[in-house]
Amino acid sequence: MNKSKTYTKDLYKNTKLSDELFADNIKDLYIWSEKYEKENNVKGLYKEHFKWVDSILEMKVIKLGRLQFEVLENIDDLSNVFEETKDFLFVNVHIREGEKLTPEECEKSYDMAINFYKSRGYKFSTVVFICYSWLLSPNLKNILPEESNIIKFQEKYTFFSSNLNEENPQIIERVFGNKSENIEDWEEDTSLQRKLKEEWKKGMRFPMTKGYFIKKI
């Protein structure tokens, strides 16, 4: 891993990005390795996280402020949404866990992403930010107040698809920190955990949902 980190640090230096930005981005490696160690009592990574960690090391995904960004090359699932995409830049938005998702910090991140991709030589007049996450699940509006940061985050996005057939719902892993199928094992330390557990028992589901919003330059 140290060799990989050195390679990535060189990428950041060559792009004239700060050591602070590098340090913030490389935290993802520790987040996922610590998760594995916590659950298995040995250092390692889940196979499902290999691709993500590689995208961090290759600087394909970059965290700018609160949010993480990744240029999308394949936009097939948006072909029915946008007829004309000339001078458009499509950017995937990812959300690292463990930090507050305030509207102000998110707005700063979107602007930072635009400036970053301009500095990297991308030519565009319109950016389409796309997010695929449990955080966009429409049913969260049934259990969270309007002023919730999660609901405020959702409000920027137009939803266009949901995964109704998740084998291991991401929301359970992210909110409760495990993949236990036994609902009685789910913690109730936060209001979100309590409300989610209560509604899940009643049959409400919170699917991964994809949404987008457009920002003209």
Domain spans in the chain, listed from the N-terminal domain onward: 1-60, 61-216
Query: What's the whole-model pTM score?
Result: 0.92
- Residues 16-21, mean pLDDT to the nearest whole number: 92
Mean pLDDT of the chain: 92
pLDDT digits (tens, 9 = 90+) for 50-94: 999 999 999 999 999 999 999 998 888 887 888 888 999 999 999
Tens-place pLDDT, residues 95-148:
999 899 999 999 999 999 999 999 999 999 999 999 999 999 999 999 999 999
Q: Is the pLDDT of residue 179 over 70?
A: no
- What's 61-216's CATH class? alpha beta
What string of DSSP letters covers the chain? Answer: -HHHHHHHHHHHHHTT--HHHHHHHHHHHHHHHHHHHHHHSS----GGGHHHHHHHHTTSSEEETTEEEEE-S--GGGTTT-S--TTEEEEEEEE-TTS---HHHHHHHHHHHHHHHHHTT---SEEEEEEEEGGG-GGGGGTS-TT-HHHHHHHTPEEEEEETT-SS-HHHHHHHSS--S-GGGS--SSHHHHHHHHHHHTT----EEEEEEEEE-
